[in-house]
Amino acid sequence: MPPHTTIVIGAGMAGLAAACTLQEAGYDVKILEGRDRLGGRTYTEHSLGVSNDLGAAWIHGPLANPMTTFAKRFDVGTAYTDFDNRFGNSTIAFDADGSQLDTAQFTTGMRFFNGAYDRLFTSVLYERPSRDVRSMADLYRSGLPGVGELSEVERKGFYYGSVVRVQYGDAADLHEIDWRLSNRYVKLPGGDLILPGGGFGRIVAGLADGLTIETDTVVESIAYGEDGVRVRTNRGEERADHVIVTVPLGVLKAGRIAFFPALPAEKQAAIQRIGYGHYEKLALKFPRCFWPTEPHRLNYLPGTQPELFTSWVNVAHYSGEPILVAMHAGSRARHINRWPDDKYIAEAMIVLRKIFGADVPDPVAYVRTEWETDPFALGSYSYSAVGGYPEDRPTLAAPVAERVHFAGEATHPRYFGTVHGAWETGVRAAREIMSNA
């Protein structure tokens, strides 16, 4: 058995991947987790009577995706989510006054955006734009072709696709996203799967079974040198040959873990340049369904700024339970995070009653997320920010002194912001240690 000992910081998907890989190879490995639970930014909650993923909620691209394999292994029920309304009945949209928009025209507009963006992206690359064109907002100002040919409802669908959905994908606003770097993301094929039958929590529990994990253990500092690493926590000090740091980018940005000696300047700069977004959810359970259960999602265009409650997941479609989940991203997520629970719910009900009528009942239970203020997350997931460089993610991923290794979705050059990306980076970090044994 190899003599090397490794401490993994964080029991999210990257940390579990690293620990599983090392343990299967015969290495001595322990995970230190600051929370009282496992999973990190995958968190399945059950108080509403269903498996409610309050963090990561989809397997993006189930073909050749390790999460699909794990879902089958651990008997997690999955269902397809049709974001683009390919089948014509999975999305319905409502205008600012609550009236339902023509679904076919709205969907045409959303799809038209995809083609227009691809054409614009290709043409702008060919024309070698000035350095002033950095953000998605800058790119849009260059002009998305063909918009003038759309009907009014199609333009609303186009707007929803070009602004609202992009913000949900990156958890950031258009002016914050670098369009070149964002396009380095690679989407796996096969659509998107939601996990109503057990959630990511069941995968986390299955992967964690048999691993050595200490919860409620907050890492404060890491000292490293030729003789190994010393990890100081709220419980004392631990020594090992290697450490794998899998904490979210927001925790690194905030300097919650001190490094001795300090991390290389180029790594510190990369940590600050990579964007870290915000994505929050409000799940409302009602005494009955007052909305159609067939659509996967409900979309709303408020027509005022900030645009709130624009996207709802219809849990009733997947489980039959009368639950709607409102989602907010970027500055909108930060906006609603300033609201107390009663105001948040009241504002949501104003929208739902505008759409479905004054007799809509009050919710009987609710759950909200606050990832922005969670001390072990300080946000949701990474995005490619204006001011960044292509080498930032590889720089963040690079080991230091062959002792300190880094993993997590923000370190992946192609699958950033995803659970499978986090998993792959954990495996990569473990193999770095194994290759130097």
Peptide bond into 129 cis (omega under 30): no
The answer to whether the CB of 290 falls within 8 A of the CB of 360 is: yes
Which tens digits make up the pLDDT trace of 151-197? 999 989 988 888 887 888 999 999 999 988 998 999 999 999 999 99
Q: Where exactly are the structural domains of the chain? A: 5-42+199-275+386-435, 104-182
pLDDT of residue 145: 66
Give the lowest-confidence range in 63-77, 151-165, 232-246, 397-411. Answer: 151-165
pLDDT tier at 105, thresholds 50, 70, 90? very high
pLDDT tier at 314, thresholds 50, 70, 90? very high
pTM of the model: 0.95
pLDDT tier at 88, thresholds 50, 70, 90? low
Alpha-carbon gap, residue 169 to 194, rounded angstroms: 15
| Cβ-Cβ contacts under 8 Å for 109 (sequence gap 6 or more) | 150, 153, 154, 155, 156, 157, 158, 159, 160, 161
Alpha-carbon gap, residue 386 to 136, rounded angstroms: 9
pLDDT of residue 134: 86
Which tops the pLDDT comparison, 44 or 165? 44
Alpha-carbon gap, residue 6 to 224, rounded angstroms: 13
C-alpha torsion angle, residues 49, 55, 59, 64 (rounded to 10):
-130
- Quickly count: other Cβ atoms within 10 Å of residue 221's Cβ: 13
pLDDT of residue 82: 83
pLDDT of residue 113: 84
Tell me what percent of the residues of the chain surpass a pLDDT of 70.
94
CATH number for 5-42+199-275+386-435 (one of 3.40.50.280, 3.50.50.60, 1.10.10.10, 1.10.510.10): it is 3.50.50.60
Average pLDDT over residues 57-72: 97
pLDDT of residue 126: 55
pLDDT of residue 291: 98
Among 295, 354, 302, 296, CA closest to 328:
302
